[in-house]
Structure 1
Amino acid sequence: MEATSSAPRRLLLVDPCDHCRRILPHLEEAGWTVSSQNLDQALAASYDIGLLRLRGDHLERAEGIKHLISRSGTEWIALIDPLTDTGAGVDEFIGEWFFDAVPLPVDLPRLQGLLGRAFGIARLRGIGNRRGDQNELLGQSRPLRDLRKQLARLGPCEKPVLIVGESGSGKELVARTLHRMSRRVAGPFVSFNCGVLPEVETANLLFGHQGKLASANGGTLFLDAVHELPPGQQERLLSCLRSKTLRHADGEVLSLDVRVLASTREELSDLVEQGTFHPGLCQWLEQNRLQITPLRKRQGDIALLAGYFVDLYSLEAGRRPSHFSEEALAAMVRHRWPGNVRELASRVRRGYALAENGPIEADDLGLQSAPVDGTLLGTLEDYKRRAEYQALCDALAHYSSNLSHAAKVLGVSRPTFYRLLHKHQLL
């Protein structure tokens, strides 16, 4: 395997098996510095690329894996245990969160090649993040335009904001944008995931002398997955927010000047009714609410975002910009995007690496065109509406940079094309 950088390349192997340990000398000979950790210890490790032996019990702790990967800022490869159930749900999970997957026992040349490509893409990913994640709010769909208007309105205010959206839809990105638009922009932006650690550790990390609340003083505290905050800590948090003070066990009292932003993929009001979320904290957080529309409901933005990501990776690699094949564009439009923009970025990174100098194909993205379902699903008008919607999405996927040409291809005037886009909320 050719070295992609003169700098040391650090590989973290999580929950290795005996076979995994036997291949370590070969990886070290190829220039990798390898360390091993279990899943619970991996958050504190330092590395360039992650390698996880994916077992059946890991899927029962999927949130822990998602948190590890999202916080790592790099690429991960899964080693699939032969006993792991590789059903549709597992395939979607791997496609959304991992650069690629290799079955055990490992084909060593294939793994080495994947590690080299993942390392190159991880470097581009880091450069891309420094260029400004706000570009991931690109899009001209009506939901995204409305979101940008809400951000402009809520950014300068001091009240809390609850950001509601599916996994991968960009909730932390929205929170960081709100922080950049606020008077607190020169202060710290502190992020805390509420659902990863046991309750005692959560309390120490959130309310301790050097905890997240204290660290965010003068700035913004982002409570990610606030619906998973242990019930025992919800009332304490509410008390701190209302009193604007943080009381430590030793009697020390710290005055708080913190704006709180929170995210959730659950409806807090439902959790209040179920008795698992504090009603007062729910009311406090819901003073302002931002709803992020999932990517599958703003298909007009898919091609634009995909083009942005692939152009970024091509630019940073010093290569000519890649392009998507017709099949790839159609596959992206038809995919349901359960992982939203994060999944799109991940699949484009993977496709960019695998396509090399040719067009990016659907297979490179890990996507296949969905089979046509012949079951009757509504009236003739329903079919007409769906066909019209799909035609618009296909036109946007192919000609998002030239709407006049898109209208011409569909055989309608430009005003009619815009009217149809607004009708289906694609613009």
Structure 2
Amino acid sequence: MDTPGTIFIVEDDRKTRDLISAFLKYQGYNIAHATQASNIFDTLHEKHIGIVIADLKLLADIAPDFIEEAKKINPLLVLIGYSNNAHINSANEDNVFFLSKPLNLDELESLVMRAREFQTMKTPHAWAAPRAPRALCSSIIGKSSRMAALFELIEKIAASNATVLIQGESGTGKELAARAIHQLSSRSDKNFVPINCAAIPEDLIESELFGHIKGSFTGAYANRAGRFEMADKGTLFLDEIGDMKANLQVKLLRVLQSKEFEPVGSTKSQKVDVRIIAASNKKLEELVESQDFREDLFYRLSVIPITIPPLRERREDIPLLIDFFLDRFNGEKRHEVTGFSSETLGILCAYDWPGNVRELENLVERLVILKDSGLITPDDLPEKYLSRTVQVQAPAVTVGNEFPESGICLNSVLDEFENRLILQALERTRGNKKEAAMLLNLKRTTLIEKLKKKNLAYGKESETQ
């Protein structure tokens, strides 16, 4: 069965269909396709279709009121239609996007992203209440002092309508922090509208932000609401704001000052009540100094600045995040990976994580898919993670030749040291637990409990596990 959100391509020209399909598959989307429009409603019933990309000529021949009929099957289905003269009657323009031939694949990807954002915006999100370890939402979790301070700051910020600037490296969770601010605010029952300023082509970004009126440019076949209008009374999240071009920075500054904007092609201003949360993985202060970002806009955006710490600066959260992702992907993939060995945790705690939480999430997903069941060991890790192993030796504890600048995960290192001592004692006694316990100055029952808890085995026992 197709996964939810599959993109369904309706096109009778094989070259065009294959081009669209290959391009979107490369972008990571699930694709289904058809050469005939006659069975499209059956397909919508049978498969989990989120977006239909179609030649409008095909649809017009079989279903002049396609959108109205399709919405009865899936209210969140979005049509991206294209033709030499793209036009279709629709009572709900939020569900319809237009492209003209010849197709521009960058524009197509931009519309697919906008369609996904529309569906995400209309779909309820599950948010967990703060608890120990603290969690502001289903994916922002942590017990480190840095994260505890961040949670406290977000809770205070949420009560205001002040503009917020979130800075941090890629993969740290800037959008999750923005969503948490919105969800905890008085605007939580209104739209949270995200837009990635770096992902949308330069000639489309103004229309995406402010909307346009019919006929304002080639391909503007109907009035279109922009992100500001969609976010009215809610929150607009401007991701990668540092990539916004200078001419658009001026227009954004005007909206922040006057609380009104003009759609592309219109001479009439529209009032808007929007809370702005901006984010950047670039240091905007440096962009201001190099005159690549307006100083007045920077101060408008950074009324309340937030910095999301990189994962290497909150290593104590790594085991917690691993458990979270492991539970999630075990459920999604229907696998039964039991956990990570203490040695594996020690290796991962020593790694610098240049991709931050996103890299950790991707690694756990990969390991769950490949492992299927059992315990994750160092042998399961990609080579690049093994090159940063923190060395722990017995009987004297040493961490390399000197303490690493990036720090260590103390609990994992101590746990690994204990494991090595236990296994060395078992090796010396050839697996005799009573004698090994005597060497370790432990009760035999205590040693057995540790072996069970740590999932450790020696010799033949390890071969049966």
> What is the TM-score with the length of structure 2 in the denominator?
0.56
Aligned to 2:241: 226
What letter matches 1:235 in structure 2? V
SS in 1 for 2:232: coil
Question: Matches of 1:357 and 1:43 in 2, distance apart?
Answer: 26
CA contact (8 A) 1:300 1:396 kept: no
Matches within 5 A, 1:210-289: 210-248=225-263, 249-289=265-305
Question: Matches of 1:7 and 1:394 in 2, distance apart?
Answer: 38
Structure 2 stretches lacking a partner, 5+ long: 9-14, 33-47, 49-106, 117-122, 129-135, 213-224, 392-397, 418-465
* Post-superposition offset of 1:281: 0.6
Aligned to 2:408: 390
Tell me the matched-pair count.
305
Matches within 5 A, 1:249-398: 249-317=265-333, 319-320=335-336, 322-367=338-383, 368-370=385-387, 386=404, 389-390=407-408, 392=410, 394-395=412-413
Question: Matches of 2:167 and 2:241 in 1, distance apart?
Answer: 10
SS in 2 for 1:290: strand
* Post-superposition offset of 1:348: 0.4
Q: Encode CA deviations 1:272-312: one digit per residue, 9 max, x unaligned.
A: 11111111110101110110110011110001100111022
Q: Encode CA deviations 1:16-59: one digit per residue, 9 max, x unaligned.
A: xxxxx9xx9xxxxxxxxx962437995998679xxxxxxxxxxx
**Residue from 136, 141, 145 that aligns with 2:139:** 136
* Post-superposition offset of 1:314: 2.3
**Residue from 168, 172, 184 that aligns with 2:171:** 168
Question: Matches of 1:265 and 1:388 in 2, distance apart?
Answer: 21
Matches within 5 A, 1:401-412: none
SS in 2 for 1:138: strand
Change over 3 Å in CA distance of 1:189–1:312 after alignment to 2? same
Question: Matches of 2:140 and 2:210 in 1, distance apart?
Answer: 32
**Residue from 166, 180, 196 that aligns with 1:177:** 180
Deviates more, 1:259-268 or 1:389-398: 389-398
Greater percentage in helix: 1
CA contact (8 A) 1:245 1:255 kept: yes
Change over 3 Å in CA distance of 1:149–1:335 after alignment to 2? same
Sequence identity (%): 31
> What is the TM-score with the length of structure 1 in the denominator?
0.61
* Post-superposition offset of 1:139: 1.4
Change over 3 Å in CA distance of 1:388–1:162 after alignment to 2? closer
SS in 1 for 2:139: helix
Aligned to 1:412: none
Structure whose alpha-carbon radius of gyration is higher: 2
What letter matches 1:314 in structure 2? N
Q: Encode CA deviations 1:380-409: one digit per residue, 9 max, x unaligned.
A: 9x977659953615258879xxxxxxxxxx
Q: Encode CA deviations 1:300-357: one digit per residue, 9 max, x unaligned.
A: 0001100111022224555545211234212211221111111111110110111112
* Post-superposition offset of 1:136: 2.3
CA contact (8 A) 1:330 1:369 kept: no
Question: Matches of 2:353 and 2:376 in 1, distance apart?
Answer: 18
Deviates more, 1:287-296 or 1:318-327: 318-327
Question: Matches of 1:141 and 1:246 in 2, distance apart?
Answer: 42
SS in 2 for 1:235: helix
Structure 1 stretches lacking a partner, 5+ long: 13-20, 25-33, 49-63, 74-126, 375-379, 400-427
Question: Matches of 2:2 and 2:161 in 1, distance apart?
Answer: 47
What letter matches 1:221 in structure 2? L
What letter matches 1:137 in structure 2? I
- Bigger relative CO (Cα 8 Å, ≥ 6 apart): 1
What letter matches 2:262 in structure 1? R
Question: Matches of 2:30 and 2:409 in 1, distance apart?
Answer: 48
Aligned to 1:404: none
Question: Matches of 2:2 and 2:146 in 1, distance apart?
Answer: 45
CA contact (8 A) 1:322 1:352 kept: no
